[in-house]
Amino acid sequence: MDAKPFVKWAGGKRNLLSQLETLLPSYFDSIKDVTYIEPFVGGGAMFFHMLLKHKNIHKAVINDINPDLIRCYQLIKDNPQELINRLELLDYNYNHFDIHDKRELYYAYRDQYNQENINKDERAALFIFLNHTCFNGLYRVNSLGKFNVPHGRYKQPIICNYELIMEDHVLLNSIDVVIREPGNYELISRHLSKNSQNFIYLDPPYRPLLNESNFKSYFNCPFGDKQQKELKRFCDKLSARDCMIMLSNSDSKNNDGSSFFEELYESYTIHRILAPRFINAISTKREKLFEVVITNY
């Protein structure tokens, strides 16, 4: 088993890795020393892929605004057995009930997760439990910041994947990996290397497609056009410091039909890749659309 994401993640890049790989600089593997930085790490599909595939990456920095997700990364890196012990108990409790009792236990654990005084390591384990047992593996919170995704009704979900957690643990310790405390993506600029090439992959919350409702799944944190423009200015600052940048987003249109990101990143290179969309609950309505990949090289 190779290291790979330990959670499902809306907008995850697992099915796009081969396309993203082809959009790396052709000379990437010839760069002697690379620092890989991912400010919106999410499930980490691209992060795990890059560390496995490219052995010239000697340091990595990851960040996310979700504190429970970041705590999971920290535990997997530094104390995986602590997380495994908690997940094994959750797995045993949940998978020894029939589907009706599973539903009741799911909502009991969801209520526990939403308590403010819960131990952060227990909360991290519940975060993974809910991710693997909720509807479609979504992460969504209400206006009060409470996780509110309904039960997923899976018969026998794998809640504690011991082998995968240990594979991820080994990879996270194979090089110098900095797991930042959750915070604003701009804080990663503190970790830019002066002695190696910085490669930064940005996968922010996507801009909704024209006439499509905004899927607010990401930690009750708005990311509208203002934030997209602020991110572009941040990319300009990184470019001025000779960082290589790759950024993913939707192929979103303005009201006049023009491309929002082509206009915003007019001085960058715009690529389009075909991406399956899995958010729709009805499988027959899941479709493939283009996404943009923006690079400064």
pLDDT of residue 98: 87
Tell me which H or E stretch contains 202.
strand 197-202
Locus of tokens 């052709």: 26
For 106, 123, 141, 156, 259, the CA distances from 109, given in Å and listed in that order, are 5, 10, 15, 17, 43
* 52, 59 Cβ separation under 8 angstroms: no
d(CA 122, CA 110): 12
pLDDT tens, the chain, 297 aa long: 689 999 999 889 999 999 999 999 999 999 999 999 999 999 999 999 999 999 999 999 999 999 999 999 999 999 999 999 999 999 999 999 888 899 999 999 999 999 999 999 999 999 999 999 999 999 999 989 999 999 998 989 999 999 999 999 999 999 999 999 998 999 999 999 999 999 999 999 999 886 554 444 445 567 899 999 999 999 999 999 999 999 999 999 998 999 999 999 999 999 999 987 655 555 555 567 899 999 999
The letter for the amino acid at 107 is Y
Q: Which two tokens stand for residue 145?
A: 């910041």
Domain ranges (residues) in the chain? 14-65+183-295, 73-162
DSSP 259: B
d(CA 262, CA 164): 39
| Letter string b/e over residues 36-48, b meaning 16 or more CB atoms within 10 A of that residue's CB | bbbbbbbbbbbbb
d(CA 236, CA 256): 26
What is the sign of the dihedral through the CA atoms of 297, 233, 140 and 216?
A: negative
**What CATH number should be reported for the domain whose range is 73-162?**
1.10.1020.10
Region class of 63: left (phi > 0), else alpha (psi between -120 and 50), else beta: beta
d(CA 209, CA 204): 15
Alpha-helical runs (H) found in the chain: 17-22, 45-53, 67-78, 80-95, 99-113, 120-133, 162-172, 225-240, 260-264
188 CB contacts (<8 Å, ≥6 apart)?
37, 39, 61, 63, 180, 200
Q: Which two tokens stand for residue 158?
A: 């794998």
Sheet holding 269-276, edge to edge: 176-179, 57-62, 34-38, 197-202, 244-250, 288-295, 269-276
Fold topology of 14-65+183-295: Rossmann fold (3.40.50)
* 35, 199 Cβ separation under 8 angstroms: yes
Distance, C-alpha 187 to centroid of its chain:
17
pLDDT of residue 100: 86
d(CA 106, CA 101): 9
Q: Which two tokens stand for residue 284?
A: 């027959």
DSSP string, 162-174: HHHHHHHHHHHTT
Q: Which two tokens stand for residue 263?
A: 């206009």
pTM, rounded to two decimals: 0.92
d(CA 142, CA 145): 5
Q: Which of 95, 272, 74, 274 is nearest to 168 (CA)?
A: 74
